Amino acid sequence: MKGDITQLIENNRAWAEEITSRDPMFFEQLSSHQSPQFLWIGCSDSRVPPNQIAGALPGEIFTHQNVGNLVQLNDVNCMSAVKFALEELEVANIVLCGHYGCGAIKAIIENTAEGLLKKWLEPIAHLYQKNKIELSDLSAELAYKRLVELNVLAQVNSLCRSSSVLDRWTNKNSLNIHALVYDVGNGFLKDLGVKISSKDDLFEFQRSAYF
Ligand code: CO
């Protein structure tokens, strides 16, 4: 797509007409409510569009994206999205998705972040410092990938400490949290094998994790 708004709007028309031709009631039915099954917290990277890589239609995934897929308990934006998804929409699954080739992670490894971006990425810088010894045993490429994965796990841990998540488990309501990494080089999602569904799972996860 060229950097041309006319093109963008034309594409949108074609997309909407294509969906309507297959399901004439699709947009009308969606217009009154949403009941997504997933909250997706991911990176803003243009190569990682949640709906497309998950094969989802509008209405199926509630999303929150930022640079580096960070979850910080003092981030009003992210915490509002989590609160709304859990308390209003009653979403029962959260996906925390990082991706290989993430520019935010690279900026920390190469120490190139400046200004506001440097401030925003501080949690990743701390994570990098904490794990520098383990990462120094790896090749540059593997260390980059490993830091992407560690960042996902650290953000899952942060997410699990939010009041919306803890309240959900305290009230014995179902909520599963998953850690994924997307590979921009082949289009596949990798499950990091973490599924946290209770406070007990969280304690177990924290015991085994590096952060
Ligand atoms: Co990224």
Ramachandran bin of 57, using left for φ above 0, alpha for ψ from -120 to 50, beta for the remaining angles = beta
The CA 64 to ligand 1 mean position distance, Å, reads 13
The rounded mean pLDDT for the chain is 96
The CA 46 to ligand 1 mean position distance, Å, reads 9
Q: Which residues contact 185 (CB under 8 A, 6 or more apart)?
A: 100, 101
Chain centroid to CA 70: 8
Res 170: pLDDT: 95
For residue 210, is pLDDT > 70?
Answer: no
Catalytic site residues?
Answer: 43, 45, 47, 99, 102
The CA 171 to ligand 1 mean position distance, Å, reads 34
Res 172: pLDDT: 87
For residue 211, is pLDDT > 80?
Answer: no
The CA 72 to ligand 1 mean position distance, Å, reads 16
CA–CA dist 191, 95 (Å, integer): 10
**Using one digit for the tens of pLDDT, what is the confidence trace for 145-189?**
999 999 999 999 999 999 999 999 999 899 999 999 999 999 999
The CA 30 to ligand 1 mean position distance, Å, reads 30
> Which domains does the chain carry?
1-32 (no CATH), 33-206 (3.40.1050.10)
Residue 189, CA distances (Å) to 9, 170, 185, 208 in order: 30, 30, 11, 23
Radius of gyration of the chain (CA): 19
The CA 67 to ligand 1 mean position distance, Å, reads 6
The model's confidence at residue 2, banded by pLDDT at 50, 70 and 90, is confident
Helix (H) or strand (E) holding 41: strand 38-43
CA–CA dist 95, 69 (Å, integer): 11
Residue owning tokens 């998950």 = 54
What does the block give as tokens for 185? 């080089």
In DSSP terms, 43 is beta-bridged to 66
CA–CA dist 101, 2 (Å, integer): 23
Pairing of strands 189-196, 176-183: antiparallel
For residue 208, is pLDDT > 90?
Answer: no
What does the block give as tokens for 73? 């308990």
Res 1: pLDDT: 83
The CA 147 to ligand 1 mean position distance, Å, reads 12
Q: Where are the alpha helices (DSSP H) in 70-162?
A: 76-83, 103-109, 115-120, 122-130, 132-136, 140-160
